[in-house]
Amino acid sequence: MQYVKMIRFHHDGFTCGSPNVNKERKPVFINREIHNLFHTCQSVYTTEMILPPDGEKKWDGCFCYLEEYTLSATGIRNIGFLPRESVIWVRNISHMGKDTPYFDRSIHPLVEEGTGDGRNIVTDTWVKMSVVDALERTRLWKEKNVTLPDWLTECYLVEPQVKSLIYPSANEKIMEFWLSKN
């Protein structure tokens, strides 16, 4: 089994809590998985948009970064390893940039799609994506851009995924520190 590196900057490590904690806006999760990285600006039914209520434990988890984080960060850097075949929540933004989300219109199931006035999805939305596709999205971004924005590698792991993380030993942490650019 192959693993990918998850990075979290927090003094308490990979601790789980509500996704609404410490967020300026409450995140909205779109219950769809991205299979084609080039299929953007899609519509989604409002019934597929989830705004987790505070206290609903099934949404507990933590925000972290997949494989790399190039911006300077404060706080303690924690590393965990997640199976490569996992599906994670990532920002609803394609490798083409912030103006090109995977989903940009929500429609009501009882209203015809053509009756809307265009883009109406809130900004802090998240979609499901395989780790393999998320890594490919990062690679595609790097082909045309120099800097790596934090939204590109940011992801949300739910508590069962956090509990399944494998943590490096002290020797592995030292080696990772010396070998890693991140």
* Other Cβ atoms within 10 Å of 29 Cβ, number: 21
For residue 12, count CB atoms less than 10 angstroms from its CB and return exposed for 0-12, middle for 13-18, buried for 19 or more: exposed
Q: Are strands 125-130 and 49-50 parallel, antiparallel or unpaired?
A: unpaired
Q: What local confidence, expressed as pLDDT, does residue 118 receive?
A: 59
Q: Give the pLDDT score at 181.
A: 47
Confidence at residue 126, expressed as pLDDT on a 0 to 100 scale: 96
Least confident of 59-73, 80-94, 155-169: 59-73
What is the mean predicted confidence (pLDDT) over 75-103?
A: 92
In the chain, what are the domain boundaries? 3-179
Q: 105-158: per-residue pLDDT in tens?
A: 888 755 555 545 455 566 789 999 999 999 999 999 999 999 999 999 999 999
Angle at 176 between CA 175 and CA 179, to 5 degrees: 85
Give, rounded to a whole angstrom, the gap between the first and last alpha carbons of the chain.
Answer: 23
Query: pLDDT tens digits for 50-69?
Result: 999 888 899 999 999 999 98
Ranges assigned E (strand) in the chain? 3-9, 28-34, 42-45, 49-50, 61-66, 77-83, 87-91, 103-107, 125-130, 154-158
- The pair of three-digit structure tokens given for residue 26, joined into one six-digit string: 């409450």
pTM: 0.86
